[in-house]
Amino acid sequence: MASTYILRLVEPTNLEFMRDMLYEAAAVDAGMRALGREQALAVPSVSKYLDNWGQREGDTGWIAVDEDQQPLGAAWYRLFPAEAPGYGFIAANIPEITISVSANARGLGLGGALIQSLIQSATTQGHPALSLSVDRANPALRLYQRHGFQDAEISNPQDSSVTLIQYFV
């Protein structure tokens, strides 16, 4: 795997790859993994992260590609209303991140670069913060913390996930 990559804004042609990345993110949960890709992506609490992508105000995403334009990872955010929150919901004006990097491209710095691109986009668009939900045992937790995400202290104590938030100054 080459160590060079390019970051660019998500295009409509990237939707299938984003679905792959959404499954990778969801499949961290053993129950979702047991369902398999298509069934897991059909679960409403998962599918909402890409349903009608690009047609909703605030949909923003970045994709990492190699020099041959093969996708390596993707990160995006969406706004959710209070009556239909995502896993990492904080408030209706704070977008929630979904991020995943292909297994063969991990360790290249893509996750951090994708997060930084989202932070820059969110700042430019005037969002006060970004949020996400991550299992406490997921090694990605350290990545998010290195990029300024902190425990929002609103997580369900019966759940092993934590909602993180990164505020902008």
Compute CA 49 distance to the chain's CA centroid, rounded to the nearest angstrom. Answer: 9
Q: How far apart are CA 46 and CA 26, in angstroms?
A: 7
Collapsing DSSP states into helix, strand and coil, what is residue 118? helix
Tens-binned pLDDT, residue by residue, of the chain (169 aa)? 456 899 999 999 999 999 999 999 988 888 888 999 999 999 999 999 999 999 999 999 999 999 899 999 999 999 999 999 998 899 999 999 999 999 888 888 899 999 999 999 999 999 999 999 888 888 888 899 999 998 888 766 666 677 778 886 4
CATH 3.40.1170.60 fits 6-167, yes or no: no
